[in-house]
Amino acid sequence: MRITTVTSPPPASPAGTPTDTVRNPRGRRAAGVVAVLALALSTAACGAKAGETTEATSCVDTSGDSVKVGFLNSLSGTMAISETTVFKSLSMAAEEINAAGGVLGKKLDVVSEDGASEPTVFAEKAGKLIESDCVAAVFGGWTSSSRKAMLPVFEAKNSLLFYPVQYEGLEASKNIFYSGATTNQQIVPALDWLKDEKKITSIFLVGSDYVFPRTANEIIKKYAAAHGIEVKGEEYQELGSTNFGTVVDKVKQAGADAVFNTLNGDSNVAFFKEYKGKGLTAAKMPVVSVSIAEEEVPGVGVDKLVGQYTAWNYYQTVESPANEKFVAAFKKANGDKAVTSDPMEAAYTSLYLWKAMVEKANSFDVAKVQEAAGGTTFEAPEGSVTVNGENHHIAKTALIGEIQSDGLIKTVWNSPTPIEPDPYLKSYDWWEAK
């Protein structure tokens, strides 16, 4: 398999620039930059407005014995601590698929781009992969800011993005397949567990200052209000920030029963260093994190995380023949100390789901793949997964895990069955969209 890796230019603005539009003037300016860039990219070739799906002419070449696919991950910047392993798992999946004969008899020719932890770069590189490299599909993204920057590009150019990370929900696009969890498959079960198992009556919210944490925390606050849980504080720091002394002081003074952590990237290193340094422990005030997986634990520091909790849908310790095979293959490719994690497992799964969709459709054509998507299944390391044809998410089992001294995460609770995706929270009477 040939993997062409293209080095991105320096980001147009500093990594960590907020891109949410809530209570943040700089975030509004950054969001405007993303919107303008995405619009320019989408109208340049298609004459379409961002957010509209068009009948754009595809340049995907299927005449030879190979077909191009794009991998778009942050291999530099604050998110590289998390996204590099996603690139590795996608590469492993591509190698496995090629070794087994490819997709419809065609080997995968991978073109890799670095999103550089910057939404504007993700949007730019997505356009390049679709129009210049003529890939059949793109796999990647991590932050919701990167996904939202890319979304209008994929819709305007009528191409496919496979997004592998848990996110805040409230979204569904015919041009995106979401193999990570939506809110009702991760955040809501984590809140149920805190309420029912930990008996919490108060909580403190800490997050990075961009789309996912702010939207997730709006959902958490509505859940809390409906279930008699007091929110004792809500603090945000720029993505990539390492200044958490004041934040942790506020957390300690508030004296909440637990902390819900939506920090992303290497900000977690600084947060948990301060947390431990100020005498806060899992026993005194447990933290539930939704963006720390096995890959991040060594970077944050195992000694700072032992006993703390995470909410995901896959851990390396999941017991199944498919996962044993997956873990063994990843360690063989990346060394005995390599660990697997939820986002990289979801990314690995996404490439196999695309393969199954293409083979079900007997075509690489976007419209035919979309039509064939519903009901497509794959025996993934996390368990059997099935694509929902209406919202392009997959059913997932919710897991709560406790971080162990060896850096692995042990499941302490799981949902009895896989949870059907409900990205707009239509089945919850306490949620009313704004």
Q: What tens digit of pLDDT does each residue of 154-166 get?
A: 999 999 999 999 9
Same domain, 221 and 366: no
Tell if the pTM clears 0.95, that is, is over it.
no
Same domain, 234 and 313: yes
- Among residues 263, 246, 317, 310, the alpha carbon closest in space to that of 282 is found at 310
Same domain, 142 and 191: no
Same domain, 176 and 188: no
Query: Is residue 192 situated within a structural domain?
Result: yes
Residue 224 belongs to domain with CATH number:
3.40.50.2300
The pLDDT value recorded for residue 208 is: 96
Query: Is residue 424 situated within a structural domain?
Result: no
Average pLDDT over residues 235-256: 96
Residue 110 CB partners (closer than 8 Å, separation 6+): 1, 2, 3, 4, 68, 69, 70, 71, 90, 91, 94
34: confidence class by pLDDT, cuts 50, 70, 90: very low
Query: Is residue 177 situated within a structural domain?
Result: yes
- For residues 365 and 19, which has the higher predicted lDDT (pLDDT)? 365
Q: How many CA atoms lie within 13 A of 35 on its CB side?
A: 11
As a whole number of angstroms, the distance between CA 103 and CA 84 comes to: 25
- Tens digits of residue pLDDT in 263-294: 998 899 999 999 999 999 999 999 999 999 99
The total number of structural domains that make up the chain: 2
Query: Is residue 325 situated within a structural domain?
Result: no
The pLDDT value recorded for residue 23 is: 30
As a whole number of angstroms, the distance between CA 33 and CA 11 comes to: 12
Domain that holds residue 410: 184-317+397-414
Same domain, 287 and 301: yes
The pLDDT value recorded for residue 164 is: 98
User: Which residues, listed in sequence order, are joined to residue 57 by a DSSP beta bridge?
Assistant: none
Same domain, 17 and 147: yes
Average pLDDT over residues 84-110: 98
Same domain, 52 and 161: yes
- Tens digits of residue pLDDT in 311-339: 999 999 999 999 999 999 999 999 999 99
Give yes or no for residue 70 having a pLDDT over 90. Answer: yes
Which pair of tokens denotes residue 35? 């919107």
Same domain, 38 and 165: yes
The pLDDT value recorded for residue 241 is: 94
Average pLDDT over residues 125-140: 98
The pLDDT value recorded for residue 266 is: 87
Same domain, 284 and 403: yes
Give the burial class of 148: count Cβ atoms within 10 A of its Cβ; 0-12 exposed, 13-18 middle, 19 or more buried. buried
As a whole number of angstroms, the distance between CA 16 and CA 263 comes to: 12
How far from 43 is each of 35, 129, 174, 370, CA to CA, in Å?
Answer: 12, 16, 19, 23
**Percent of the chain's residues with pLDDT above 70:** 87
Same domain, 271 and 147: no
Same domain, 348 and 300: no
Among 50-59, 177-186, 385-394, 418-427, the least confident range: 50-59
Same domain, 219 and 305: yes
Query: How far does the chain reach from its first CA to its final CA, in angstroms?
Result: 47
